[in-house]
Amino acid sequence: MNIPQSLTVEQKDEILFVKINRPEKRNAINDELILGIETVFSNIPEGVKCAIIYGEGKHFSAGLDLSELKERDIVEGLNHSRMWHRALEKVQFGKVPVVAVVHGACVGGGLEIASACHIRVAEQTTFYALPEGQRGIFVGGGASVRLPKLIGMARMTDMMLTGRVITAEEGVLVGLSQYLVSEGSGLEKGVELAKKIASNAGMTNYALMHVLPRIVDSGQSEGLMLESLMATISSSTPEAQGRLRDFLEGRAKKVGE
Ligand code: 1HE
């Protein structure tokens, strides 16, 4: 596997830790890094049930490495954006759910990476922005499709038109993150969530990753049919049957336990 030095990958039991490790450039994402992300998420090792992506240093990521933008022609620009799309499709529609743990700057392409993940945990230091507007460019890593689903089109438009910076506290209120934790405790929270995710039935995680987004993108009638099909398939797996029996015979945890 061709993984650059700026990406550190480590498997511990059922969790894969993926660290963006380029703190001297505030984890700005160059071509090598985005290709590395594609490789890692295309080759999730056997036994891994959840991945966590996070950043080294004071920031999650400063977004696209702007030094690589200078001399691209139009076709190269299109290929570059499509490369990001390909890589982040592997994150969103890969083999396992991905938790993003963010802190400091989570901006531009950094926010696009976080948006492709299934859950976001933000430390208090986090700030979100889409500086593309200020740089005279447009988002190119999938934000126009994924972000409005998290925060709505009006908020994304505001972020780009005015350069608005969203704080960690605002972020959890508007749906950018699902958890807000104190500085330095993001990874611990990420691991706690990853362990819960890893203990789910495989079919449930598969449905949430691969079917729910398609239902959301469908019309009501197609969506409801997809839901019925998925509900029927999932409840007839031996794993689901076992879990239902465990509950009915008093062996399973109650809600909240
Ligand atoms: C970079 C980048 C970068 C830092 N590309 N080199 N993203 C942005 O427009 C965000 C630009 N970055 C910043 O606003 C700030 O760097 C931060 C707020 C993130 C962090 O500030 P700070 O004070 O901690 O660091 P710094 O001093 O600004 O940066 C340290 C070094 O990292 C410095 O290089 P040095 O050689 O002078 O030490 C910076 O030049 C470098 N650096 N950010 C390249 N982004 C798929 S399309 C997505 C489109 C986008 O993501 S556009 C948004 C780009």
pLDDT of residue 149: 97
Concerning whether 169 is annotated as a catalytic residue, the answer is no
If you average pLDDT over residues 86-110, what whole number do you get?
A: 98
CA distances from 151 to 81, 148, 159, 176, 249 (A): 22, 5, 11, 7, 42
Q: Closest residue (by CA) to atom 34 of ligand 1?
A: 25
Q: Closest residue (by CA) to atom 43 of ligand 1?
A: 62
pLDDT of residue 164: 97
pLDDT in tens, 114-169: 999 999 999 999 999 999 989 899 999 999 999 999 999 999 999 999 999 999 99
Residue 70 has pLDDT above 80, yes or no: no
Nearest to 50 by CA among 246, 158, 150, 196: 196
Tell me if 16 sits within 8 A of 9, measured CB to CB: yes
Confidence label for 71 from pLDDT (cuts 50, 70 and 90): confident
Distance 62 CA to ligand 1 centre (A): 5
Q: Closest residue (by CA) to atom 37 of ligand 1?
A: 25
> What's the alpha-carbon Rg for the chain, to the nearest Å?
19
Q: Closest residue (by CA) to atom 44 of ligand 1?
A: 65
Concerning whether 71 is annotated as a catalytic residue, the answer is no
Distance 15 CA to ligand 1 centre (A): 30
Q: Which DSSP state fits 64?
A: B
* Residue 150, token pair as written in the block: 């998290």
Among the options 24, 76, 123, 132, which is catalytic? 132
Nearest to 157 by CA among 132, 192, 182: 132
Q: Alpha-carbon distance 98 to 195, whole Å? A: 12
Distance 194 CA to ligand 1 centre (A): 30
CATH C-level class of 202-248: mainly alpha
Count CB neighbours of 147 within 10 A: 24
Strand partners of residue 11: 16
Give residue limits of the domains in the chain: 7-198, 202-248
20: left (phi over 0), alpha (psi -120 to 50) or beta: beta
pLDDT in tens, 3-60: 999 999 999 999 999 999 999 999 999 999 999 999 999 999 999 999 999 999 999 9
Distance 235 CA to ligand 1 centre (A): 48
**According to the CATH classification, is domain 7-198 in 3.90.226.10?**
yes
If you average pLDDT over residues 63-80, what whole number do you get?
A: 91
